[in-house]
Chain A
Protein backbone atom coordinates (compact mmCIF):
# COMPACT_ATOMS: atom_id res chain seq x y z
CA UNK A 1 0.00 0.00 0.00
CA UNK A 2 2.74 2.43 1.00
CA UNK A 3 4.78 1.44 -2.06
CA UNK A 4 1.90 2.19 -4.42
CA UNK A 5 1.43 5.49 -2.65
CA UNK A 6 5.00 6.57 -3.32
CA UNK A 7 5.16 5.14 -6.82
CA UNK A 8 2.24 7.33 -7.80
CA UNK A 9 4.05 10.35 -6.42
CA UNK A 10 7.30 9.47 -8.15
CA UNK A 11 9.17 9.07 -4.89
CA UNK A 12 12.05 6.64 -5.31
CA UNK A 13 12.52 3.66 -2.99
CA UNK A 14 16.05 3.33 -1.59
CA UNK A 15 17.94 1.07 0.76
CA UNK A 16 20.80 2.19 3.02
CA UNK A 17 23.14 0.44 5.45
CA UNK A 18 21.72 -0.70 8.77
CA UNK A 19 25.09 -1.04 10.47
CA UNK A 20 27.37 1.99 10.48
CA UNK A 21 30.48 3.37 12.13
CA UNK A 22 28.74 6.43 13.57
CA UNK A 23 25.65 6.57 15.72
CA UNK A 24 23.23 9.32 16.60
CA UNK A 25 24.46 11.78 19.23
CA UNK A 26 21.06 12.64 20.70
CA UNK A 27 21.33 11.95 24.44
CA UNK A 28 17.83 10.48 24.78
CA UNK A 29 18.41 7.85 22.11
CA UNK A 30 20.51 4.84 22.93
CA UNK A 31 22.02 2.89 20.03
CA UNK A 32 22.95 -0.78 20.10
CA UNK A 33 26.71 -1.03 19.71
CA UNK A 34 28.38 -4.12 18.30
CA UNK A 35 31.68 -5.65 19.49
CA UNK A 36 33.30 -4.17 16.43
CA UNK A 37 32.33 -0.67 17.60
CA UNK A 38 29.62 -0.19 14.97
CA UNK A 39 26.10 0.97 15.64
CA UNK A 40 22.74 -0.40 14.52
CA UNK A 41 20.81 2.47 13.02
CA UNK A 42 18.22 4.22 15.17
CA UNK A 43 16.85 5.75 11.97
CA UNK A 44 18.03 5.85 8.33
CA UNK A 45 18.21 9.64 8.40
CA UNK A 46 21.95 10.26 7.99
CA UNK A 47 22.42 8.09 4.94
CA UNK A 48 19.21 9.17 3.26
CA UNK A 49 20.41 12.76 3.61
CA UNK A 50 23.71 11.78 2.04
CA UNK A 51 21.78 10.44 -0.95
CA UNK A 52 19.87 13.70 -1.23
CA UNK A 53 23.10 15.70 -1.03
CA UNK A 54 24.50 13.49 -3.80
CA UNK A 55 21.65 14.47 -6.06
CA UNK A 56 18.91 11.93 -5.41
CA UNK A 57 15.30 12.96 -6.09
CA UNK A 58 12.63 12.65 -3.35
CA UNK A 59 13.20 9.25 -1.70
CA UNK A 60 11.60 6.82 0.74
CA UNK A 61 12.62 3.72 2.61
CA UNK A 62 11.01 1.02 4.73
CA UNK A 63 13.60 -0.42 7.10
CA UNK A 64 14.24 -1.80 10.57
CA UNK A 65 15.54 0.57 13.25
CA UNK A 66 16.85 -0.21 16.71
CA UNK A 67 16.73 1.68 20.00
CA UNK A 68 18.11 0.23 23.15
CA UNK A 69 15.94 0.11 26.27
CA UNK A 70 12.73 1.17 24.56
CA UNK A 71 10.32 -1.55 25.48
CA UNK A 72 6.65 -1.28 26.37
CA UNK A 73 3.16 -1.24 24.99
CA UNK A 74 4.10 1.26 22.28
CA UNK A 75 7.79 0.45 22.02
CA UNK A 76 9.86 -2.45 20.79
CA UNK A 77 13.66 -2.15 20.58
CA UNK A 78 13.51 -3.32 16.96
CA UNK A 79 10.81 -1.63 14.92
CA UNK A 80 10.00 -0.68 11.36
CA UNK A 81 10.38 2.85 10.09
CA UNK A 82 8.87 4.29 6.96
CA UNK A 83 10.92 7.38 6.27
CA UNK A 84 10.72 9.76 3.35
CA UNK A 85 12.18 13.05 2.13
CA UNK A 86 10.53 15.52 -0.20
CA UNK A 87 12.66 18.04 -2.04
CA UNK A 88 11.32 21.57 -1.80
CA UNK A 89 8.56 20.69 0.69
CA UNK A 90 7.92 22.62 3.86
CA UNK A 91 6.40 21.16 7.04
CA UNK A 92 2.83 21.91 6.09
CA UNK A 93 3.10 20.23 2.70
CA UNK A 94 4.68 17.21 4.29
CA UNK A 95 2.03 17.05 7.03
CA UNK A 96 -0.63 16.97 4.33
CA UNK A 97 1.16 14.08 2.65
CA UNK A 98 1.47 12.21 5.97
CA UNK A 99 -2.27 12.68 6.48
CA UNK A 100 -2.93 11.30 3.00
CA UNK A 101 -0.92 8.18 3.77
CA UNK A 102 -2.53 7.72 7.19
CA UNK A 103 -5.98 8.07 5.61
CA UNK A 104 -5.03 5.26 3.28
CA UNK A 105 -4.17 2.94 6.18
CA UNK A 106 -6.63 4.00 8.90
CA UNK A 107 -9.45 5.38 6.76
CA UNK A 108 -9.97 9.05 6.32
CA UNK A 109 -10.18 11.28 9.34
CA UNK A 110 -9.93 14.85 10.44
CA UNK A 111 -6.58 16.36 11.41
CA UNK A 112 -6.00 19.10 13.91
CA UNK A 113 -2.93 21.27 14.25
CA UNK A 114 -1.63 22.44 17.60
CA UNK A 115 1.65 24.07 18.52
CA UNK A 116 3.53 22.76 21.58
CA UNK A 117 3.22 26.24 23.06
CA UNK A 118 -0.54 26.26 22.65
CA UNK A 119 -0.90 22.71 23.93
CA UNK A 120 0.95 23.44 27.18
CA UNK A 121 -0.69 26.79 27.64
CA UNK A 122 -4.21 25.38 27.42
CA UNK A 123 -3.47 22.28 29.50
CA UNK A 124 -1.21 23.67 32.19
CA UNK A 125 -1.15 27.45 31.80
CA UNK A 126 2.55 27.21 31.04
CA UNK A 127 4.54 29.34 28.61
CA UNK A 128 6.99 26.78 27.27
CA UNK A 129 9.26 29.40 25.70
CA UNK A 130 9.35 31.99 28.47
CA UNK A 131 8.58 30.41 31.82
CA UNK A 132 11.57 29.77 34.06
CA UNK A 133 13.09 26.31 34.48
CA UNK A 134 11.87 26.40 38.04
CA UNK A 135 8.25 27.03 37.11
CA UNK A 136 8.27 24.30 34.44
CA UNK A 137 9.75 21.83 36.91
CA UNK A 138 7.18 22.81 39.51
CA UNK A 139 4.24 22.29 37.17
CA UNK A 140 5.68 18.93 36.09
CA UNK A 141 5.97 17.92 39.71
CA UNK A 142 2.38 18.98 40.37
CA UNK A 143 1.35 16.72 37.51
CA UNK A 144 3.01 13.73 39.14
CA UNK A 145 6.62 13.68 37.96
CA UNK A 146 9.02 12.37 40.59
CA UNK A 147 12.73 12.89 41.06
CA UNK A 148 15.07 15.64 39.94
CA UNK A 149 13.49 17.54 37.10
CA UNK A 150 15.34 19.65 34.55
CA UNK A 151 13.72 21.97 32.03
CA UNK A 152 13.60 19.60 29.09
CA UNK A 153 12.48 16.67 31.29
CA UNK A 154 9.65 18.85 32.52
CA UNK A 155 8.62 19.85 29.02
CA UNK A 156 8.82 16.26 27.73
CA UNK A 157 6.72 15.06 30.63
CA UNK A 158 4.11 17.79 30.27
CA UNK A 159 3.81 17.15 26.54
CA UNK A 160 3.47 13.39 27.14
CA UNK A 161 0.81 14.08 29.77
CA UNK A 162 -1.08 16.52 27.57
CA UNK A 163 -1.09 14.06 24.67
CA UNK A 164 -3.23 11.69 26.73
CA UNK A 165 -5.94 14.33 26.94
CA UNK A 166 -6.03 15.59 23.37
CA UNK A 167 -9.49 16.64 22.32
CA UNK A 168 -9.38 14.89 18.97
CA UNK A 169 -8.09 11.67 17.47
CA UNK A 170 -5.51 12.83 14.96
CA UNK A 171 -3.41 15.82 15.90
CA UNK A 172 -0.28 17.30 14.41
CA UNK A 173 1.82 18.87 17.16
CA UNK A 174 4.05 21.56 15.70
CA UNK A 175 6.65 24.22 16.59
CA UNK A 176 8.77 22.58 19.25
CA UNK A 177 11.03 24.39 21.72
CA UNK A 178 14.48 24.98 20.17
CA UNK A 179 16.23 22.61 22.58
CA UNK A 180 14.18 19.83 20.98
CA UNK A 181 15.02 20.80 17.43
CA UNK A 182 17.08 17.65 16.75
CA UNK A 183 17.77 17.98 13.00
CA UNK A 184 15.03 20.47 12.19
CA UNK A 185 15.42 24.05 11.04
CA UNK A 186 14.60 26.76 13.49
CA UNK A 187 12.38 29.67 12.59
CA UNK A 188 11.01 32.79 14.17
CA UNK A 189 7.40 32.56 15.18
CA UNK A 190 6.11 35.82 16.56
CA UNK A 191 8.63 36.68 19.25
CA UNK A 192 9.93 33.15 19.72
CA UNK A 193 12.46 31.02 17.96
CA UNK A 194 10.96 27.57 17.51
CA UNK A 195 11.96 24.31 15.84
CA UNK A 196 10.12 23.63 12.58
CA UNK A 197 9.30 20.09 13.62
CA UNK A 198 6.05 18.18 13.85
CA UNK A 199 4.68 15.00 15.31
CA UNK A 200 1.49 13.23 14.37
CA UNK A 201 -0.31 11.88 17.42
CA UNK A 202 -3.17 9.45 17.00
CA UNK A 203 -5.13 8.35 20.06
CA UNK A 204 -2.33 9.75 22.21
CA UNK A 205 0.34 7.72 20.40
CA UNK A 206 3.13 9.37 18.45
CA UNK A 207 3.01 7.95 14.94
CA UNK A 208 5.20 10.29 12.90
CA UNK A 209 8.00 12.76 13.51
CA UNK A 210 8.95 15.19 10.77
CA UNK A 211 11.30 18.08 10.16
CA UNK A 212 11.74 20.92 7.83
CA UNK A 213 15.32 19.77 7.50
CA UNK A 214 18.29 21.65 8.81
CA UNK A 215 20.69 22.20 5.91
CA UNK A 216 23.40 24.16 7.70
CA UNK A 217 26.40 21.90 8.41
CA UNK A 218 27.97 24.24 10.98
CA UNK A 219 24.74 24.37 12.95
CA UNK A 220 24.50 20.56 12.79
CA UNK A 221 28.03 20.28 14.15
CA UNK A 222 27.19 22.68 17.00
CA UNK A 223 24.13 20.60 17.89
CA UNK A 224 26.14 17.38 17.85
CA UNK A 225 28.71 18.94 20.17
CA UNK A 226 25.95 20.19 22.47
CA UNK A 227 24.49 16.65 22.52
CA UNK A 228 27.86 15.28 23.51
CA UNK A 229 28.30 17.83 26.31
CA UNK A 230 24.92 16.78 27.62
CA UNK A 231 25.95 13.14 27.29
CA UNK A 232 29.08 13.86 29.27
CA UNK A 233 27.08 15.58 32.02
CA UNK A 234 24.74 12.59 32.27
CA UNK A 235 27.56 10.04 32.23
CA UNK A 236 26.56 8.70 28.82
CA UNK A 237 29.09 7.60 26.21
CA UNK A 238 30.35 10.31 23.85
CA UNK A 239 29.64 9.56 20.20
CA UNK A 240 31.78 10.63 17.28
CA UNK A 241 30.24 13.15 14.90
CA UNK A 242 29.45 11.44 11.62
CA UNK A 243 32.04 13.01 9.26
CA UNK A 244 30.31 11.56 6.19
CA UNK A 245 27.08 13.33 6.99
CA UNK A 246 28.83 16.57 7.85
CA UNK A 247 30.81 16.45 4.59
CA UNK A 248 27.62 15.83 2.59
CA UNK A 249 25.87 18.71 4.30
CA UNK A 250 28.83 20.94 3.45
CA UNK A 251 28.52 19.87 -0.19
CA UNK A 252 24.92 20.96 0.09
CA UNK A 253 21.75 19.28 1.26
CA UNK A 254 18.91 20.62 -0.92
CA UNK A 255 15.99 22.28 0.85
CA UNK A 256 13.65 19.48 1.89
CA UNK A 257 11.33 18.12 4.54
CA UNK A 258 11.50 14.59 5.89
CA UNK A 259 9.42 12.40 8.14
CA UNK A 260 9.63 9.03 9.87
CA UNK A 261 6.50 6.99 10.50
CA UNK A 262 6.38 4.14 13.03
CA UNK A 263 4.79 1.51 10.83
CA UNK A 264 4.19 -0.99 13.63
CA UNK A 265 2.28 1.62 15.61
CA UNK A 266 0.23 2.56 12.61
CA UNK A 267 -0.64 -1.09 12.01
CA UNK A 268 -1.56 -1.55 15.68
CA UNK A 269 -3.89 1.46 15.41
CA UNK A 270 -5.36 0.13 12.16
CA UNK A 271 -6.28 -3.13 13.87
CA UNK A 272 -7.38 -1.49 17.14
CA UNK A 273 -4.67 -3.32 19.06
CA UNK A 274 -3.51 -2.21 22.49
CA UNK A 275 0.07 -3.22 22.08
CA UNK A 276 2.72 -3.46 19.38
CA UNK A 277 3.36 -7.08 20.30
CA UNK A 278 -0.04 -7.89 18.82
CA UNK A 279 1.05 -6.82 15.35
CA UNK A 280 4.61 -8.13 15.49
CA UNK A 281 5.34 -11.75 14.70
CA UNK A 282 8.46 -11.63 16.85
CA UNK A 283 8.31 -9.02 19.64
CA UNK A 284 11.50 -8.48 21.62
CA UNK A 285 10.57 -10.72 24.54
CA UNK A 286 10.13 -13.68 22.19
CA UNK A 287 13.31 -13.50 20.15
Chain B
Protein backbone atom coordinates (compact mmCIF):
# COMPACT_ATOMS: atom_id res chain seq x y z
CA UNK B 1 0.00 0.00 0.00
CA UNK B 2 1.53 3.26 -1.11
CA UNK B 3 0.99 6.41 0.90
CA UNK B 4 1.92 10.00 0.23
CA UNK B 5 3.14 12.41 2.88
CA UNK B 6 1.89 16.01 2.82
CA UNK B 7 5.24 17.17 1.49
CA UNK B 8 4.70 15.02 -1.60
CA UNK B 9 1.27 16.51 -2.28
CA UNK B 10 0.97 18.23 -5.62
CA UNK B 11 -1.89 18.88 -7.96
CA UNK B 12 -2.96 15.84 -9.95
CA UNK B 13 -1.89 13.33 -7.28
CA UNK B 14 -4.48 10.56 -6.84
CA UNK B 15 -5.30 9.59 -3.28
CA UNK B 16 -7.94 7.82 -1.20
CA UNK B 17 -10.01 10.02 1.08
CA UNK B 18 -12.75 8.42 3.14
CA UNK B 19 -12.44 5.45 0.82
CA UNK B 20 -13.14 7.52 -2.28
CA UNK B 21 -10.65 8.15 -5.09
CA UNK B 22 -9.73 11.82 -5.27
CA UNK B 23 -7.40 14.00 -7.24
CA UNK B 24 -5.52 16.82 -5.51
CA UNK B 25 -6.42 20.18 -7.01
CA UNK B 26 -4.53 22.49 -4.71
CA UNK B 27 -2.18 22.11 -1.78
CA UNK B 28 -1.45 25.09 0.41
CA UNK B 29 1.14 25.14 3.18
CA UNK B 30 -0.25 27.02 6.17
CA UNK B 31 1.77 27.70 9.27
CA UNK B 32 1.26 30.14 12.06
CA UNK B 33 4.67 31.57 13.02
CA UNK B 34 4.54 29.83 16.38
CA UNK B 35 2.37 26.88 15.72
CA UNK B 36 1.68 23.60 14.04
CA UNK B 37 2.13 23.53 10.26
CA UNK B 38 -0.81 22.40 8.16
CA UNK B 39 -1.53 21.55 4.56
CA UNK B 40 -4.86 22.85 3.39
CA UNK B 41 -5.80 20.68 0.47
CA UNK B 42 -8.56 20.83 -2.13
CA UNK B 43 -9.55 17.52 -3.67
CA UNK B 44 -11.87 16.56 -6.45
CA UNK B 45 -13.77 13.36 -5.74
CA UNK B 46 -13.24 11.49 -8.98
CA UNK B 47 -16.52 9.60 -8.70
CA UNK B 48 -18.89 12.41 -7.82
CA UNK B 49 -16.90 15.33 -9.23
CA UNK B 50 -17.45 17.20 -5.97
CA UNK B 51 -14.70 19.35 -4.51
CA UNK B 52 -13.67 18.70 -0.91
CA UNK B 53 -11.44 20.72 1.32
CA UNK B 54 -9.46 19.03 4.08
CA UNK B 55 -6.61 20.12 6.28
CA UNK B 56 -3.81 17.85 7.48
CA UNK B 57 -1.06 18.39 9.97
CA UNK B 58 2.12 18.62 7.91
CA UNK B 59 3.94 15.33 7.82
CA UNK B 60 0.85 13.14 7.89
CA UNK B 61 0.26 10.66 5.10
CA UNK B 62 -2.71 9.51 3.10
CA UNK B 63 -3.14 6.41 1.03
CA UNK B 64 -2.54 6.52 -2.70
CA UNK B 65 -5.37 5.56 -5.05
CA UNK B 66 -4.68 3.30 -8.00
CA UNK B 67 -6.15 5.64 -10.58
CA UNK B 68 -5.23 5.90 -14.26
CA UNK B 69 -6.47 8.06 -17.08
CA UNK B 70 -6.52 6.13 -20.37
CA UNK B 71 -7.45 7.13 -23.89
CA UNK B 72 -10.20 4.75 -25.00
CA UNK B 73 -12.53 4.43 -27.92
CA UNK B 74 -16.27 4.48 -27.28
CA UNK B 75 -17.95 1.45 -28.84
CA UNK B 76 -21.64 1.28 -27.93
CA UNK B 77 -24.16 1.19 -25.11
CA UNK B 78 -26.55 -1.61 -24.24
CA UNK B 79 -28.63 0.77 -22.17
CA UNK B 80 -27.14 -0.35 -18.89
CA UNK B 81 -23.43 -0.14 -19.63
CA UNK B 82 -21.30 1.94 -21.95
CA UNK B 83 -18.49 -0.02 -23.57
CA UNK B 84 -15.02 1.32 -24.27
CA UNK B 85 -11.93 -0.23 -25.84
CA UNK B 86 -8.27 0.46 -25.20
CA UNK B 87 -6.40 2.12 -28.05
CA UNK B 88 -3.03 0.56 -27.21
CA UNK B 89 -3.61 -2.37 -29.57
CA UNK B 90 -4.75 -4.75 -26.82
CA UNK B 91 -8.43 -4.36 -27.80
CA UNK B 92 -9.21 -4.81 -24.11
CA UNK B 93 -12.68 -3.55 -23.25
CA UNK B 94 -14.25 -2.07 -20.15
CA UNK B 95 -17.90 -1.40 -19.33
CA UNK B 96 -18.82 1.82 -17.53
CA UNK B 97 -22.05 2.19 -15.60
CA UNK B 98 -24.45 5.11 -15.80
CA UNK B 99 -22.86 6.99 -12.92
CA UNK B 100 -19.45 6.93 -14.59
CA UNK B 101 -20.75 8.36 -17.88
CA UNK B 102 -23.21 10.72 -16.22
CA UNK B 103 -21.77 13.95 -17.55
CA UNK B 104 -20.27 12.48 -20.69
CA UNK B 105 -23.09 10.41 -22.13
CA UNK B 106 -24.69 13.32 -23.98
CA UNK B 107 -21.53 13.67 -26.05
CA UNK B 108 -20.56 10.07 -26.76
CA UNK B 109 -20.34 9.26 -30.44
CA UNK B 110 -19.33 5.78 -31.51
CA UNK B 111 -15.66 5.48 -32.46
CA UNK B 112 -14.70 8.74 -30.75
CA UNK B 113 -11.61 8.52 -28.55
CA UNK B 114 -11.88 9.98 -25.09
CA UNK B 115 -10.35 9.81 -21.66
CA UNK B 116 -11.56 7.12 -19.25
CA UNK B 117 -10.53 7.20 -15.59
CA UNK B 118 -9.97 3.76 -14.09
CA UNK B 119 -9.83 3.08 -10.35
CA UNK B 120 -8.57 -0.38 -9.50
CA UNK B 121 -9.24 -1.12 -13.20
CA UNK B 122 -12.90 -0.07 -12.97
CA UNK B 123 -14.06 2.92 -15.01
CA UNK B 124 -15.30 5.64 -12.66
CA UNK B 125 -15.55 8.57 -14.99
CA UNK B 126 -15.39 9.45 -18.65
CA UNK B 127 -14.22 12.79 -19.97
CA UNK B 128 -15.28 13.68 -23.49
CA UNK B 129 -13.04 15.80 -25.73
CA UNK B 130 -13.62 19.53 -25.24
CA UNK B 131 -15.27 19.73 -28.65
CA UNK B 132 -17.38 17.11 -30.42
CA UNK B 133 -19.12 17.12 -33.80
CA UNK B 134 -22.65 15.75 -33.76
CA UNK B 135 -25.52 15.59 -36.21
CA UNK B 136 -28.76 17.47 -35.59
CA UNK B 137 -31.56 14.91 -35.54
CA UNK B 138 -34.48 17.17 -34.80
CA UNK B 139 -35.19 20.88 -34.78
CA UNK B 140 -37.76 23.37 -36.10
CA UNK B 141 -37.34 24.20 -39.79
CA UNK B 142 -34.46 26.54 -40.48
CA UNK B 143 -34.96 30.11 -41.49
CA UNK B 144 -32.52 30.76 -44.25
CA UNK B 145 -30.84 34.11 -44.38
CA UNK B 146 -31.49 34.66 -40.72
CA UNK B 147 -27.87 34.66 -39.66
CA UNK B 148 -28.17 37.72 -37.49
CA UNK B 149 -27.43 37.37 -33.83
CA UNK B 150 -30.00 36.91 -31.16
CA UNK B 151 -32.31 34.15 -32.33
CA UNK B 152 -31.94 30.60 -31.09
CA UNK B 153 -34.00 27.43 -30.90
CA UNK B 154 -33.65 24.02 -29.30
CA UNK B 155 -32.18 21.18 -31.34
CA UNK B 156 -31.88 17.51 -30.50
CA UNK B 157 -28.60 15.87 -31.46
CA UNK B 158 -27.92 12.29 -32.53
CA UNK B 159 -26.85 11.42 -28.95
CA UNK B 160 -30.15 12.66 -27.51
CA UNK B 161 -28.65 15.84 -26.06
CA UNK B 162 -30.74 18.99 -26.53
CA UNK B 163 -28.88 22.26 -26.96
CA UNK B 164 -29.63 25.75 -28.20
CA UNK B 165 -28.63 26.48 -31.80
CA UNK B 166 -29.01 29.50 -34.10
CA UNK B 167 -32.20 29.66 -36.19
CA UNK B 168 -30.50 28.73 -39.48
CA UNK B 169 -29.37 25.27 -38.32
CA UNK B 170 -31.27 22.42 -39.97
CA UNK B 171 -31.85 18.71 -39.44
CA UNK B 172 -28.88 16.81 -40.84
CA UNK B 173 -26.38 19.58 -40.17
CA UNK B 174 -23.27 18.48 -38.32
CA UNK B 175 -22.44 20.98 -35.62
CA UNK B 176 -19.55 21.52 -33.25
CA UNK B 177 -20.37 21.65 -29.54
CA UNK B 178 -18.28 22.65 -26.55
CA UNK B 179 -18.83 19.75 -24.13
CA UNK B 180 -17.75 21.78 -21.09
CA UNK B 181 -20.76 24.08 -21.21
CA UNK B 182 -22.97 22.40 -23.82
CA UNK B 183 -22.84 25.41 -26.14
CA UNK B 184 -23.07 25.51 -29.90
CA UNK B 185 -19.77 26.58 -31.46
CA UNK B 186 -20.44 26.43 -35.20
CA UNK B 187 -21.35 24.27 -38.15
CA UNK B 188 -18.86 21.64 -39.16
CA UNK B 189 -16.73 22.63 -42.14
CA UNK B 190 -16.86 19.19 -43.78
Q: Does A46 interact with chain B (Cβ within 8 Å)? A: no
Interface set, chain B 27-76, CB cutoff 8 A to A: 28-38, 53-58, 60
Q: Are A72 and B36 in contact (CB under 8 A)?
A: no
Q: Contacts A70-B37, A160-B38: A145 and B55 contacting too (C-beta < 8 A)?
A: yes
Interface centre among A143, A144, A161 (most CB of B within 10 A): A144
Q: Are A156 and B38 in contact (CB under 8 A)?
A: yes
Within 8 Å by CB of B37, from A69, A146, A152, A197, lies A69
* B60: A residues at CB distance < 8 A: 146-147
Q: Does B130 interact with chain A (Cβ within 8 Å)? A: no
Q: Are B37 and A28 in contact (CB under 8 A)?
A: yes
Q: Are A152 and B36 in contact (CB under 8 A)?
A: yes
Q: Are A69 and B7 in contact (CB under 8 A)?
A: yes
* B29: A residues at CB distance < 8 A: 70-75
* A73: B residues at CB distance < 8 A: 28-29
Q: Are A160 and B34 in contact (CB under 8 A)?
A: no
* A157: B residues at CB distance < 8 A: 36, 38, 55
Q: Contacts A72-B28, A72-B29, A75-B29: A26 and B34 contacting too (C-beta < 8 A)?
A: yes
CA distance A182 to B35 in the complex (A): 10
Q: How far does the Cβ of B175 sit from chain A's closest Cβ, in whole Å?
A: 40
Q: Identify whether the interface residues of A are mostly helix, strand, loop, or mixed.
A: mixed
CA distance A73 to B40 in the complex (A): 12
Q: How far does the Cβ of A231 sit from chain B's closest Cβ, in whole Å?
A: 14
Interface set, chain B 132-149, CB cutoff 8 A to A: none
CA distance A147 to B61 in the complex (A): 9
User: Please, which residue of chain A has its CB at the minimum distance from the CB of B35?
Assistant: A156
* B57: A residues at CB distance < 8 A: 145, 147, 153
Q: Contacts A75-B29, A144-B53: A69 and B58 contacting too (C-beta < 8 A)?
A: yes
Q: Does A209 interact with chain B (Cβ within 8 Å)? A: yes
Q: How far does the Cβ of B8 sit from chain A's closest Cβ, in whole Å?
A: 13
Within 8 Å by CB of A75, from B31, B35, B53, lies B31
Interface centre among B36, B38, B54, B56 (most CB of A within 10 A): B36
Within 8 Å by CB of B33, from A144, A153, A209, lies A209
Q: How far does the Cβ of B49 sit from chain A's closest Cβ, in whole Å?
A: 19
Q: Are B38 and A28 in contact (CB under 8 A)?
A: no
* A70: B residues at CB distance < 8 A: 29, 31, 37
* A72: B residues at CB distance < 8 A: 28-31
Q: Are B55 and A206 in contact (CB under 8 A)?
A: no
Q: Does A115 interact with chain B (Cβ within 8 Å)? A: no
Q: Are B53 and A28 in contact (CB under 8 A)?
A: no
Q: Are A156 and B55 in contact (CB under 8 A)?
A: no
Q: Are B36 and A28 in contact (CB under 8 A)?
A: yes
Interface set, chain B 112-142, CB cutoff 8 A to A: none
Interface centre among A70, A75, A155, A157 (most CB of B within 10 A): A157
Q: Are A156 and B53 in contact (CB under 8 A)?
A: no
Q: How far does the Cβ of B97 sit from chain A's closest Cβ, in whole Å?
A: 30
Q: Are A156 and B32 in contact (CB under 8 A)?
A: yes
Q: Contacts A69-B37, A157-B36: A144 and B55 contacting too (C-beta < 8 A)?
A: yes
Interface centre among B28, B32, B60 (most CB of A within 10 A): B32
CA distance A143 to B30 in the complex (A): 15
CA distance A105 to B57 in the complex (A): 33
Within 8 Å by CB of A144, from B36, B37, B54, lies B54
Interface set, chain A 7-33, CB cutoff 8 A to B: 26, 28-29
* A145: B residues at CB distance < 8 A: 38, 54-57
Q: How far does the Cβ of B106 sit from chain A's closest Cβ, in whole Å?
A: 34
Q: Does A47 interact with chain B (Cβ within 8 Å)? A: no
Q: How far does the Cβ of B58 sit from chain A's closest Cβ, in whole Å?
A: 7
Interface set, chain A 192-209, CB cutoff 8 A to B: 197, 199, 206, 209
17 A-B pairs in the complex with CB atoms less than 8 angstroms apart: A28-B31, A28-B35, A70-B29, A73-B29, A75-B31, A144-B53, A145-B56, A156-B36, A156-B38, A157-B55, A159-B32, A159-B35, A180-B35, A182-B34, A197-B34, A199-B32, A206-B32
Given A70-B29, A70-B31, 5 other A-B contacts at CB below 8 A?
Answer: A69-B37, A71-B29, A72-B31, A147-B60, A156-B38
